[in-house]
Amino acid sequence: MLVFEKSRPGRGVSALPKCDVDVLTPSDKDLRKAELHLPEMAEVDLSRHYTELAHKAHGVNDGFYPLGSCTMKYNPRVNEKIAALPGFTDIHPLQPARTAQGCLQVIKEISEALCEITGMSEFTLQPAAGAHGEFTGLLLIKAYHLANGDTQRKKIIVPDSAHGTNPASAVMAGMEVINVDSDDKGLVDLDKLREVCEGNDEIAGLMLTNPNTAGLFDPNIKEITDIIHQCGGLCYYDGANLNAVMGWARPGDMGFDCVHLNLHKTFSTPHGGGGPGSGPVGCKEHLAKFMPGVKVVDFDEHSDENMLSFAKAEASLGEMKNFYGNFLVAVKALTYIKMLGKEGIPEASKNAVLNANYMMNKLKGAYDMAFDPKVCMHEFVMDLSRQAKETGVTAMDIAKGLLDNNIHPPTMYFPLTVHEALMAEPCETESKETLDDAIRVFLELNDIAYSDPEKLHMAPVKTPVTRLDEVGAARHPVLKYEFE
């Protein structure tokens, strides 16, 4: 039942405090004419409504959540505690910088930490999430080429294993996408890349994740970025998979010119509805003058006090979001970085990779691994084409079966280069017991696929809602409540 259906006229919470400022009466033209349909209900019913919805969902606090390329790691409570400090919450973006020095200090420190982790020289916290970060990075690349008079550089190379948002962001930025196929190991095909790039003065750049979406670290990464630079292009690093290499390898050292990170993945802040997200973008010196928003600098030149203040980049591409991005998310991420410290950051990545390899090796006998790697990074891709052919049980059916076992399914049908893909990313925050339990479930489901496939076609049966009509929902989406 929707909150609107539970609404009763006149019921409600009248908790508004007495007005303690001058009352301003808006003119008639500023007043809303149509009735505003706000649900009216008692606090207790409202509270129960949202608790009920929470029970129907599966979050990282409910159970294992190995959603590939999403890094659903546990979000430590201390992050929330720090972000709830009044000095961070009771501020206004327009108050004088001299009265919010602690907040400026946070922006400065997290920018420095992210620079250190990625090998970049500057960061902006404005982008609201990953794809917004991609878009920002591409605008930086575009601004660079335009400033050099290279108006013809409009082509962005994206490998076929890339995240779907990469080509979409490129098109949004007014670029044209060139797809480059992967080789049979699932890595960038160097010959094909050279073929596209050599002597091509229309190449604006390359977008790449490393490790890639098959969970493989591309050992030719330096050669790849060199090929792009040689033809005058720039390299953009999609930070979706940074959790595999954080503290071990830096995009800057791999030859990337700019990156985006997902604080809601790698740096333990909440995802999705629990967000908001945050997709800071970092760049090297040669792109710094185009950065959006403002950065924190040491001295305010209009004052003789020794204080932090804001400064704008000389050829800034403008505002990607108002003010300083999702600031409180940055507070949480900085808390995480400080809690882990210089030793903890690489340790987290090490365990993420270890956990993925442990699961992959335990599942290898029952599930075929795409590209059959000896070692994976923080995630691995199962290919269920064999099961689909022999039993009729698809990746979707196994995913639904996992739900009955209180496990969130891995990412399905991605990367597109693998037909019946299930892409699992266990994360470093899971114990051996959790992994062993999940492994047992995966193996059982594979047995059921061969003994009683119909059972998996029917799954899930234990969840609050059972198998949904995905096709119907996609063909005829109902996106809003129709008031009578």
Partner 1 sequence: MVINKDALYAKTHEWVTFDGDTALIGISDYAQSELGDLVFVNLPEEGDEVTCGEAFADVESVKAVSDIYSPVSGVVAAINEELLDAPEKINEDAFGAWFIKVSDITEKGELITPDEYEALCEAEE
Which parts of this chain interact with partner 1 (CB under 8 A)?
164, 412-414, 416, 419, 470-471, 474-475
Q: Minimum distance from CB of 185 to partner 1 (Å)?
A: 20
DSSP summary character for residue 67: B
- Which residue is listed with tokens 């009509």? 469
The backbone torsions φ and ψ at residue 259, rounded to the nearest 5 degrees and listed phi first, read -145, 160
168: left (phi over 0), alpha (psi -120 to 50) or beta: alpha
Contacts of 293 (CB under 8 A, 6+ apart): 124, 125, 126, 312, 316, 319, 320, 321, 323, 324, 325
- By beta-carbon proximity to partner 1, the closer residue of 29 and 475 is 475
Amino acid at 239: G
Q: Minimum distance from CB of 354 to partner 1 (Å)?
A: 31
- By beta-carbon proximity to partner 1, the closer residue of 432 and 476 is 476
Contacts of 34 (CB under 8 A, 6+ apart): none
- By beta-carbon proximity to partner 1, the closer residue of 158 and 221 is 158
Taking the C-alpha atoms of residue 350 and residue 428, their distance in angstroms, rounded to an integer, is 8
Q: Minimum distance from CB of 412 to partner 1 (Å)?
A: 8
Q: Minimum distance from CB of 399 to partner 1 (Å)?
A: 12
Q: Minimum distance from CB of 482 to partner 1 (Å)?
A: 21
- By beta-carbon proximity to partner 1, the closer residue of 213 and 429 is 213
Q: Minimum distance from CB of 249 to partner 1 (Å)?
A: 30
- Please, are residues 421 and 412 in contact by the beta-carbon 8 Å criterion? yes
Query: Where do runs of H (alpha helix) occur along 278-422?
Result: 285-288, 327-363, 385-391, 395-403
- By beta-carbon proximity to partner 1, the closer residue of 210 and 394 is 394
Taking the C-alpha atoms of residue 88 and residue 414, their distance in angstroms, rounded to an integer, is 39
Q: Minimum distance from CB of 327 to partner 1 (Å)?
A: 34
- By beta-carbon proximity to partner 1, the closer residue of 31 and 474 is 474
- Please, are residues 263 and 118 in contact by the beta-carbon 8 Å criterion? no
